[in-house]
Amino acid sequence: MNIEMIRTAQGRLRGHARVTPLLSSPFLDEIAGRRLFVKPECLQHTGSFKYRGARNAIAALDDATRSRGVIAFSSGNHAQGVALAAAEHGVAAVIVMPSDAPKLKIDNTRALGAEVVLYDRANEDRDKIGAQLAGDRGLTLVKPFDEPQVIAGQGTVGLEIAAQAAEHGYADGDVLVPCGGGGLTSGIALALASDAPGMRVRPVEPEGFDDVARSQAAGAIQRNTRLSGSLCDAIITPQPGDLTWPVIDLYCGPGLVVSEDDCLRAMALAFTRLKLVIEPGGAVALAAALFHRDQVAGDAVTVVTSGGNVDAQVFAQALERFA
Amino acid sequence: MNIEMIRTAQGRLRGHARVTPLLSSPFLDEIAGRRLFVKPECLQHTGSFKYRGARNAIAALDDATRSRGVIAFSSGNHAQGVALAAAEHGVAAVIVMPSDAPKLKIDNTRALGAEVVLYDRANEDRDKIGAQLAGDRGLTLVKPFDEPQVIAGQGTVGLEIAAQAAEHGYADGDVLVPCGGGGLTSGIALALASDAPGMRVRPVEPEGFDDVARSQAAGAIQRNTRLSGSLCDAIITPQPGDLTWPVIDLYCGPGLVVSEDDCLRAMALAFTRLKLVIEPGGAVALAAALFHRDQVAGDAVTVVTSGGNVDAQVFAQALERFA
């Protein structure tokens, strides 16, 4: 995994992934106590950065392999990214989801052209079902984060940040990134180490699911004790990935942790000041920049808002409580 | 007023106004029955396209005139655009607002550095107060739409649409634009007549406030009978402008009219599919493309979402009813 893979990914994504803008508001600068720049990946195709990694991974397959189709395990943003990227390549995508996934997510993934295979969380083994399907049909598994071409695709966010920050006249300060398995965090860290070495990536996680921050503190991979029960479900994973962790360990500053209420408040401010819809997990980095400013370094802080796939009820709740 | 003024405005706005992206969603294409592209000016500074015209008009003043400051009458998007553009130039902005304007709008305008002068709608004459202030202090009036440099600034949206449409492989079809006084509509129409003559601008208005569509049908300026009582207040004006009307009459296709419920439904779809916050008046063009597709021409339709300054309660209502 290296910067050349990220540059190759950028070439593959050109004309497909959106180059999201870099947004700001004087009102948010005031709260953050410094210039604050927002990289809104909620505006990416399918509503999250996941499309970048999925598209790059599928594009990187050789023609014969790709033509047999791909498979992914996800009920969320990764599923939609893989479904759209596969459809654009004209190949089959099978998405394995728990049968209790929200109907809207199942419908959206199907509407993007994927075949959804449901399994019973309590009585069936997801990996066994997936392996069987992959074997029978020659499908290639697209992992959500612990896969070099996925990390390279997410890293294109970092190349864009480096270039856009230069246009805005800055080249350093913390870059706060919502962190689940670490694909986006490690990809951006690799890109910035090359193109904007004065910038430092800081992973941000929700309280109670801070496996990365604890891994950094311990110097070794730590696991989350819980895996559900967070509004920030989009970025909850058991532990950092085998490939992403060494990159985070080497390149990133200490992780930050925010509360669910911090996220909802950040969502309300993004509504009022940026006109953006952000999902709770996608708001953790913005929340850290706004409400934990004493833990952030630099005259300018950059935050990634990684996704916007939030239920209307949850969004309305954020507005009612904090807008 | 001509294309050269719009190109000059584009030069003046470079590095200041955001080049907003051109967004799309396969789900919206499906509803629109064709490819649909959204130009989200809600992502512009201050949350609406108004910043473009205000910034251009202030930048176009000679130094001595500009240094004495500017004045505007507005309780809405134009006020915020003028306030920010004046602050960026380091000159005073006086904004005259009715004393019953929402406190949030007054506070926002002040926070952007403007001096807010309140007047009593029932007992005081706004124009007299403004003329007195302008005379005493040598302030220059920045009109909201019927002013060549304001129209030229809004026209930069059209230059961007022409270039971005070419990148997306199309050069024709209807371009639907939310229309109040007609500054944005006429500016875009002039820009496209030059840079993408296969594209046709269509003004879009809310039901009951369709002065432009009726003026087009009558071949002469018509007035609205009411001037308040619409959710789409951001785009309600008494009649088309003296400068904007001839351009609209000459270059635009017939106007479209949408209901308030169409707007709320479009806002809910923009939330779900584009992760954008749009105000009701800013949603009229999207609503027309989605819910009046039989009145729209072309394989691709482009819509401008002109602003996102909506109260949280109104937005929550759109989500509750239609998301």
| Residue-wise pLDDT tens digits, A246-258 | 999 999 999 999 9
Would you call B84 and A26 a contact, using CB atoms and an 8 Å cutoff?
yes
Q: Which residue among A40, A274, A319 places its CB closest to the CB of B316?
A: A319
| Rg over CA atoms, chain A | 18
pLDDT for B101 equals 84
Domain with CATH 3.40.50.1100 in chain A: 3-49+147-322, 51-141
| Structure confidence by residue, pLDDT tens digits, A300-309 | 999 999 999 9
pLDDT given at position B104: 81
Q: How many Cβ contacts (< 8 angstroms) between chains A and B? A: 72
Residue B100, Cβ density class (10 Å: 0-12 exposed, 13-18 middle, ≥19 buried)? exposed
What does the pLDDT read at residue B152? 98
- What's the number of CA atoms in the CB half-sphere (13 Å) around residue A33? 12
Nearest to A43 among B275, B278, B319 (CB): B275
Say whether A275 and B47 touch across the interface (CB within 8 A).
yes
Of the candidates B39, B50, B105, B143, the residue annotated as catalytic is: B50
The CATH code belonging to domain B51-141 is 3.40.50.1100
pLDDT category of residue A227 using cuts at 50, 70 and 90: confident
- Which pLDDT score is estimated for B75? 80
Q: How far is A107 from chain B (nearest CA, A)?
A: 11
CA-to-CA distance for B113 and B83, rounded, in angstroms?
6
Report the C-alpha gap between A278 and A235 in whole angstroms.
13
- Which amino acid is present at A118? L
Of A77-81, A100-104, A185-189, B187-191, which gets the smallest average pLDDT?
A100-104
What whole-number distance in Å separates Cα of residue B32 and Cα of residue A2? 42
The reported pLDDT for the residue numbered A223 is 96
Nearest CA in chain B to A319: B312
Task: Give me the pLDDT at residue A206, please.
Answer: 97
Cβ neighbours of A259 (radius 10 Å): 15
CATH 3.40.50.1100 domain range(s) in chain B? 3-48+147-322, 51-141
CA dihedral in degrees (A124, A128, A130, A131; nearest 10)?
A: -170
Beta bridge partners of A118: A97
Q: Nearest-CA neighbor of B173 among B184, B185, B161?
A: B161
Catalytic residues of A: 50, 306
One-letter identity of residue B308 = G
A312/B319 Cβ within 8 A: yes
Rounded CA Rg of chain B:
18
pLDDT in the model for residue B180: 96
Integer CA distances (angstroms), A60 to A140, A159, B154, in order: 12, 19, 42
d(C-alpha B46, C-alpha B63), whole Å: 24
When pLDDT is averaged across residues A70-95 and rounded to a whole number, the result is 96
What is the pLDDT confidence band of residue A127, given thresholds at 50, 70 and 90? confident
Q: What is the pLDDT of residue B188?
A: 98
Q: How far is CA A23 from CA A161, A304, B45, B87, B256, in A?
A: 11, 10, 9, 19, 32
Q: Give the model's pLDDT for residue A126.
A: 86
Q: Is B319 close to A320, i.e. CB distance below 8 A?
A: no
Q: Mean pLDDT in chain A?
A: 96
The shortest C-alpha distance from A87 to chain B (Å) reads 11
**Closest Cα to residue B70, out of B145, B153, B133, B17?**
B133
Comparing CA positions, the residue from A57, A295, A251, A39 lying closest to residue A160 is A39
Strand order in the sheet with A140-141: A115-119, A93-98, A70-73, A140-141
Does residue A161 contact residue A192 with C-beta atoms inside 8 Å?
yes
Tell me if residue B50 is catalytic. yes
A84/B26 CB distance under 8 A: yes
- State the fold for domain A3-49+147-322: Rossmann fold (3.40.50)
The shortest CB-CB distance from A271 to any of B26, B272, B312 is to B312
Q: What pLDDT score was predicted for residue B102?
A: 81
- Closest alpha carbon to B308 in B283, B273, B272, B274: B283
pLDDT score for A105: 84
Is residue A176 helix, strand or coil?
Answer: strand
Task: Look at A10-14, A108-112, A203-207, B59-63 and tell me which has the smallest mean pLDDT.
Answer: A108-112
> From B25, which residue of chain A is nearest by alpha-carbon distance?
A45
- Name the minimum distance, in Å, from the CA of B138 to any CA of chain A: 28
Percent of chain A residues topping a pLDDT of 90? 90
CATH class of B3-48+147-322: alpha beta
Give the contacts of B132 (CB within 8 A, at least 6 positions apart).
none
Looking at residue B219, its pLDDT comes to 96
Beta-carbon separation of A277 and B275 below 8 A: yes
d(CA B83, CA B108): 9
| Selected residue of B50, B275, B304 to mutate for chain A interface (largest A Cβ count, 10 A) | B275
**Chain B partners within 8 Å of A276 (Cβ):** 43, 275-277
Reported ipTM? 0.95
In this structure, what token pair is assigned to residue A203?
């992973």
Quickly state the pLDDT bin for A229 (edges 50, 70, 90). confident
Query: Comparing C-alpha atoms, which of B123, B38, B118, B108 is closest to residue B78?
Result: B108
Enumerate the residues of chain B whose CB falls inside 8 A of the CB of residue A15: 167
What average pLDDT values come out for chain B (323 residues) when binned by 10 residues?
96 97 97 98 97 98 98 93 98 94 87 94 88 93 96 98 97 97 98 98 97 97 91 92 97 98 98 98 98 97 97 96 96
Q: Mutate which of A30, A275, A278, A306 to disrupt the B interface (most B C-beta within 10 Å)?
A: A275
Confidence at residue A103, expressed as pLDDT on a 0 to 100 scale? 83
Tokens at B103, concatenated: 């406190």
- Long-range CB contacts (within 8 A, 24+) of B20-24: B20/A21, B20/B44, B20/B157, B20/B160, B21/A18, B21/A19, B21/A20, B21/A21, B21/A43, B21/B164, B22/B161, B22/B164, B22/B165, B22/B167, B22/B168, B22/B302, B23/A18, B23/A43, B23/B274, B23/B276
